[in-house]
Amino acid sequence: MKSIEQKVIKFISSHSLLSANDKILVALSGGPDSVFLLHFLKKYQKKFKIELAAFHLNHLIRKSADEEQGFCAKLCKKLSVPFHTEEFDVKSFAVKNKISVEEAGRLIRYVQLNKYAHKFNFNLIATAHNADDNAETVLLNLSKGTGIKGIAGIPVKRENIIRPLLCLRKNEILDYLKKNNIKFVIDESNLSEQYERNFLRMKIIPIIENKINPQFVNSVLTTSINLQSFNTYLNKILSEIEKKYVVETNEEVRIKINLFTEQENFIQTEIIRKALTEKFDFNPSQKDIRKIISLFDKQVGSIETFKQKLKALRERNSITIFSNKSLPEKSILIKVGESKRFDSGRMIISKVNSLDVKLTANKNVEFVDGELTGESFLIRKWKDGDKFHPFGMKGTKKLSDYLNDIKVETKEKRNQYVLISKNRIVWIVGKRLDERFKLRPETKTIYKLKLINE
């Protein structure tokens, strides 16, 4: 058994990466690292008692992309390994989402890997990251500002993803492939210094190794693994603290203001980082964290914007982080007898008789004079300048002032809908009726307005 193979076997064993009957989907690019990984796992398949398959993502970026896809297909056929592949326009995705091509490729690759793993019941995904990749990651994260998780580098194992080759240097892999006459493809983009990782690999790391520490990459790996263990311990502590200060819903994360008065800056930072990473899969830089913390000293309604279409909003008792999805500005037409969905739920307008009128404290149900409204209504978000005549009050009031008076949180205020008839507000949906449309003793036509939160 060759020493490089022994090294990987020992690494797998020491980190408990494989168990008997594991089903593994290998991320196969066709490059030297992933080709080595596939050959290695195939060679020791019986030893580990595992099932193998490979997945290749065609990024549709380079002219050679189709050739690489074909190479991977042939390699898998030769090794008798089931092969899966997908094509995806990574460049267009990157432009649309305003992220780098590198980041877009990473995001799409993991999404597709998990999709195929789930589809074919693979419990593990194996990627071919090596020790040099880890050193690049650590330096990249350090240069941009990051927390402990960032400088801990590439995890040996994260959920269903394993990285058996993190113990190997790139040159060890290349030497092995050359001695065993194993072919692979070269990704020409890896030779361009325009990409950050390539610049670190080709320029910065060699200087550090020549001038400071020849074992720099291996030293970084040892530190990374130690920090990953510490990070696991820290996460347990943070999870307990998080319960007190973080409230998560389907669409947002609310961080209670008292986090910033009761906890040290380090805890504040790590709680925010943990919440963003787990909820939005967004690894914030130190600059991003500072922007969120700065909202504590700003007035209610202040907003900070981040990559991946995220926003952080200062509210009275919290800082709310949410995805910046544009809400529909278009008005929704609804007629008597209809039911229409919109962001706040479902609106139902029905004609009823006087015996059906039951006035309660339920603000999601109102009754109006149909002779004053007509049979057609519009549902839309409120906008600056909107006025209405609040039920039970004299005169009109700006809707913005009314929402402030009843202490509506800023984010909820931005998402407030109104029901319109004949260019006049009939109902601040779920909150207050307009005095002008209330039932009168002489009312003959009655419409019931009902909001169902879904």
- Rg for the chain, CA atoms, rounded: 29
Class of domain 332-452: alpha beta
C-alpha distances (whole Å) from 341 to each of 49, 351, 407, 416 are 53, 19, 26, 15
Quote the pTM value.
Answer: 0.65
Sorted by where each begins, the domain ranges of the chain are 3-224, 249-323, 332-452
- Helix (H) or strand (E) segment spanning residue 257: none
pLDDT of residue 361: 82
| Residues 308 and 97: beta-carbon distance below 8 Å | yes
Tokens of 113: 């890997």
C-alpha distances (whole Å) from 451 to each of 370, 413, 429 are 18, 17, 7
Q: Does domain 3-224 have CATH number 3.40.1010.20?
A: no
pLDDT of residue 449: 94
pLDDT (tens digit, 0 to 9) for every residue of the chain, 454 residues total? Answer: 579 999 999 999 999 999 999 999 999 999 999 999 999 999 999 999 999 999 999 988 777 888 999 999 999 999 999 999 998 888 888 888 777 777 888 888 998 999 999 999 999 999 999 999 999 999 988 887 777 888 899 999 988 999 999 999 999 999 999 999 999 998 666 655 666 888 888 889 999 999 999 999 999 999 999 999 998 899 899 999 999 999 887 678 899 999 999 999 999 999 999 888 888 878 788 889 999 999 999 987 788 888 767 888 888 888 988 876 544 456 788 999 999 888 778 999 999 988 888 888 888 999 999 999 989 899 988 887 889 999 988 889 999 889 988 888 776 777 889 999 988 999 999 999 999 999 988 999 999 999 998 6
| Residues 430 and 366: beta-carbon distance below 8 Å | no
Residue type, 393: M
What is the dotted CATH code of the domain comprising 249-323? 3.30.465
Strands across the sheet with 339-342, in order?
A: 339-342, 345-352, 446-452, 365-369
pLDDT of residue 446: 93
pLDDT of residue 326: 41
Q: What's phi and psi for 330, nearest 5 deg?
A: -70, 135
